[in-house]
Amino acid sequence: MFGKTFSSFTFGLMVIFLLSCNNATETPIPIEKIYEGSLIRPSVSDLENFYQEGYTSITGHIRIQDLESTEIHQNLHYLSNLKHIGGSLELVSLSEVEDLEGLNQLDSVSGSLSIVYCHKLRNMEGLDKLSHIGMEFKLNLNESLIDLQGLEFLSSIGMKLKLAGNHQMLSLKGLNNLETIGGTLEIGEYYGSGNDKLESIEALSNLETLDHRLDIHNNASLQHLAGLENMLSVWRVDMTNNSILSDFCALESMVKNEGVDGPFELIGNAYNPTAEDIKAGNCSQ
């Protein structure tokens, strides 16, 4: 009797010991820490405090602008805990920044993401986990931007994707998993600057949903629209002054299936077919 009781007692102790060891080795659940407010042109000490406090989310906006070259990468590093921005993120006139390392944990921006006048930025590396932008994604006047590598996880943009004045950009490589734009795709500005060296938009091959407008203007090196074959519908199409653009066959399926609800205007391109021309199979020249 005593032997059986002792054995049971010993077995119970062993079970408790093993469970305690398992619990001790479990990875702790990370704690989300929310910053209430915005960081508009913050000082180095503001950003350093933000980092040291371990904030993973911010309810408002972040605007970083006109930093000295010695400060840029350190200041982006101060955002390296950040996973979510409730407002917008603006990076403006960071003249020496070449990549976006430091933003590697960021997975969503509820507002807009604007990157403007960052003249040495070559791609989007550093935004590896970004999957959703709630409003507008604007890339304007970044003179060294070649492509959009680093955005391979991005699947949806709530309102608008605007690319203009990025004169070294050759392709949209990096947007290969983008499926939805809730408003407008604008590649080049109607009254402003295009993307002079842009040759390919094939990275948009997974884009199906475009709720408002397809605008392509003033892109001097764009000859065809390969990459837009899977688009199902759009309200309006405007393409102007793309001097060698002569192949619109990527739009053929959408046009034939009455996927364009509003105006279809092609003006000042190398070839300017009407929607009826495209339906008849005359989509290129």
What confidence tens digit (pLDDT) does each residue in 81-100 have?
A: 999 999 999 999 988 888 89
Torsion on CA atoms 62, 67, 71, 75, rounded to nearest 10: 10
d(Cα 227, Cα 131) in Å, to the nearest integer? 20
Cα angle: 104, vertex 165, 109; to 5 degrees: 30
Residue 242's SS3 state is coil
What confidence tens digit (pLDDT) does each residue in 226-258 have?
A: 999 999 999 999 999 999 999 999 999 999 999
276: number of Cβ within 10 Å = 10
The more confident residue out of 84 and 65 is 84
What confidence tens digit (pLDDT) does each residue in 20-30 have?
A: 545 544 555 55
Domain ranges of the chain: 34-279
HSE value, Cβ hemisphere, 13 Å, CA-based, for 153: 16
- What CATH number matches the domain at 34-279, 2.60.40, 3.40.190, 3.30.70, 3.80.10? 3.80.10
The more confident residue out of 175 and 19 is 175
What confidence tens digit (pLDDT) does each residue in 34-49 have?
A: 999 999 999 888 999 9
Q: Which of 16, 18, 58 is nearest to 34 (CA)?
A: 58
At 115, the amino acid letter reads I
Q: pTM of this prediction?
A: 0.87
